[in-house]
Amino acid sequence: MEFTPVVSEVNSPYGGRLVERVRKHVPEELRKVEIPKRYALDAEKIAVGAFSPLEGFMGSGEVESVLERGTLESGLPWTIPIILPLWRGLEVEVGEEILLTHGSEGFAVMTVEETFRLDRRRFAERVYGTLDPAHPGVRQTMEMSEFAVSGSIELVKRITGDRTPREVREEISKFGWKTVAGYQTRNPPHRAHEYVIRTAMELVDGVLIHPVVGELKTDDFPPEVIVESYKVFIDEFLPKRKVLFDTLNIAMRYAGPKAAVFLAIIRKNFGCTHFVVGRDMAGVGSYYDPYGAQKALKELDLGIEVIALGEAFYCRRCDGVVSERNCDHDGDLRVKISMTQVRRMLSQGVEPPREMIRPEVLTILKRSFERSDSSLKSSK
Ligand SMILES: [Zn+2]
């Protein structure tokens, strides 16, 4: 382990120090353990410090503390346990070093600290606030192994093209920004997203547009479509001197306010001073209070300022995209803007209006829809 000080201190990492754990030499005799994608992504993010101050997958005490009190054992607020399930039949010994692989390639060394049993029902109920199997997080939790293994992680090789917190911090300092807002999304940009991004630009020096693309619901758009549509949107419509764009490959946790807290902590680690929170962040279905995320973040004071915005829509009377906080016109004058609606229209062969989504972005979405449509047909 080498210690190198953080170059940019726009905002200090969560817990005070950016975790950076890298291993250059890996003994050949290390046993290889293949892990599924969502956990491999977490391992990489732990090692590069996106989850600072975590240095590894959580043990039973830490998991219990997060579930029971909403904090790490150190007392620092933390809402989503970061765990590595251990499949039955896979034996590991405490103290042993194993080489984690994903797609047969060794990418991280884990030093096993503890194996323990997980109460999956309790986990699901505490994290997602429901046991409804229709909730994607609950379903995923109940399908996990009931055993988990904890231990520190050192990265041998990156498995994603994401910039690390250090690299993003370096970019921020090159721009010379004093304030940066993290913008969380898991969708291609529509006009309400645009309203939110532009509003943030009024308040801070720069915006980090940082879509989560690692593992999404099957009805979310695929990562390459999100990236391509953002590139076009930024290129054609936003001031380059105020935007940093990068992907965040992690599994999306659809845990509403708890996920929002987790996502805000990550952006603090990437150097953001502010975090933009619109309506129903990281929600799914109608499980969560649409403004619960804003409330939770304001109460916790994580060391990242919250830019809390109302729901944006197109108003026919105002003739523009506005929000419930600056337009009082009747509901029937409002055109609701949501990606669910855009998708529904596309699947029905209806063209979503430009008040909802820019034609430049729509072209990309349509192409993606045609591709998935023809692959469905050809697979029959
Ligand atoms: Zn209006």
CA-based torsion, 351, 357, 360, 362: positive or negative: negative
Q: How far apart are CA 188 and CA 360, in angstroms?
A: 11
Instruction: Return the pLDDT at 282.
Output: 78
Longest dimension (CA), the chain: 70
Active site residue 166: no
| 25 confidence band (pLDDT: 50, 70, 90) | confident
Q: Is the pLDDT reported for residue 147 higher than 80?
A: yes
What CATH number is given for 165-379 in this structure? 3.40.50.620
318 CA → ligand 1 middle, Å: 4
Give span(s): CATH 3.10.400.10, the chain: 31-155
CA of 345 to the centre of ligand 1 (A): 24
Query: Is the distance from CB of 15 to CB of 55 less than 8 angstroms?
Result: no
CA atoms within 13 A on the CB side of 62: 23
Q: What tokens were used for 221?
A: 């758009």
Out of 185, 247, 249, 269, which one is annotated catalytic? 185
User: Nearest-CA neighbor of 58 among 131, 153, 129, 200?
Assistant: 153
Task: Calculate mean pLDDT across residues 261-273.
Answer: 98
All CATH 3.40.50.620 domain ranges in the chain, comma separated = 165-379
The pLDDT of 177-198, averaged and rounded, is 96
- The pLDDT confidence band at residue 245, using thresholds 50, 70 and 90, is very high
Single out the catalytic residue among 79, 115, 164, 187. Answer: 187
The alpha carbons of the chain give a radius of gyration, in whole angstroms, of 21
Report the Cα 324 to chain-centroid distance in Å. 26
Q: In terms of DSSP bridges, do strands 97-102 and 105-117 run parallel, antiparallel, or are they unpaired? A: antiparallel
Q: Can 186 be counted among the known catalytic residues?
A: yes
Report in angstroms the alpha-carbon separations of 338 from 163, 192, 236, 277, 355.
Answer: 29, 8, 22, 16, 11
- Which of 126, 166, 169, 186 is the catalytic position? 186
Mean pLDDT of 175-185: 97
Give the model confidence (pLDDT) of 154-178 as tens digits. 999 999 999 999 999 999 999 999 9
Predicted confidence (pLDDT) at residue 185 exceeds the cutoff of 60: yes
pLDDT surpassing 70 at residue 151: yes
* Long-range pairs, 60-67, Cβ under 8 A, ≥24: 60/114, 60/116, 60/148, 60/150, 62/150, 63/118, 63/123, 63/148, 67/122, 67/123, 67/126, 67/127
- Report the pLDDT value the prediction gives residue 375, as an integer from 0 to 100: 54
- The span from the CA of 141 to the CA of 255, in Å, is 12
Output the CA 277–ligand 1 centroid distance in Å.
22
Q: From the CA of 319, how far away is ligand 1's center (Å)?
A: 7
Is 38 tagged catalytic?
Answer: no
> 332 alpha carbon to ligand 1 midpoint, in Å?
10
Among the four given CATH numbers 3.10.400.10, 3.30.70.260, 1.25.40.10, 3.40.50.150, the one describing domain 31-155 = 3.10.400.10
pLDDT tens, residue by residue, 300-317: 989 999 999 999 999 999
